[in-house]
Amino acid sequence: MSPLAPSLLETSEALFDKIIDVNLKGPTRLTALAGTKMGEAGGGSIINISSLASYKPSPMTTVYSAAKAGLNALTAASAQEYAPVGVRVNCVVCGTFDTDAAAGVIGDEDILKHIVEPVALKRVGRPEEVVGTVLYLASSASSYTTGTCVTVDGGVRP
């Protein structure tokens, strides 16, 4: 859930709570519960999905950006907490992808121009283009990777 808001002042408390609940509180509780169960079972891999907005916040995404930055911090801290029981915790930081959630933004040609302008590949991503990263983090190929945020963004310039 990543709604745009015209300003921080115009972000209602209800919208603030919903964005934080979906993007930070939910993953926090799931990480605690799944990490504990995975540890009891001998190990596992937790993969959080973050956003480039966590690194590049804008006035229209203030609360969402803050929640996703918190998710990145949750990833790093949880990786330390659950490593002793064999659970790895990593994160995929996504740029703009052509999903239902982004349809309103990427469907607007004026907004889309501003989104793809800083992207080296000059387009938004397709959902299947993040699958390989997630499979890597879920597999034993990444057995020495934990607490890491992997960015998949088409080459967004800093």
Report the amino acid identity of residue 34. Answer: A
Strands 149-152 and 87-94: parallel
| Catalytic one of 55, 64, 82, 144 | 64
Residues 152, 92 contacting (CB under 8 angstroms):
yes
Instruction: Say whether 64 is catalytic.
Output: yes
User: Residue 64: how many CB atoms within 10 A of its CB?
Assistant: 25
Angle in degrees, CA 110, 14, 4, rounded to 5: 10
Question: Which has the closest alpha carbon to 50: 21, 34, 30, 73?
Answer: 73
Catalytically active residues, by annotation: 64
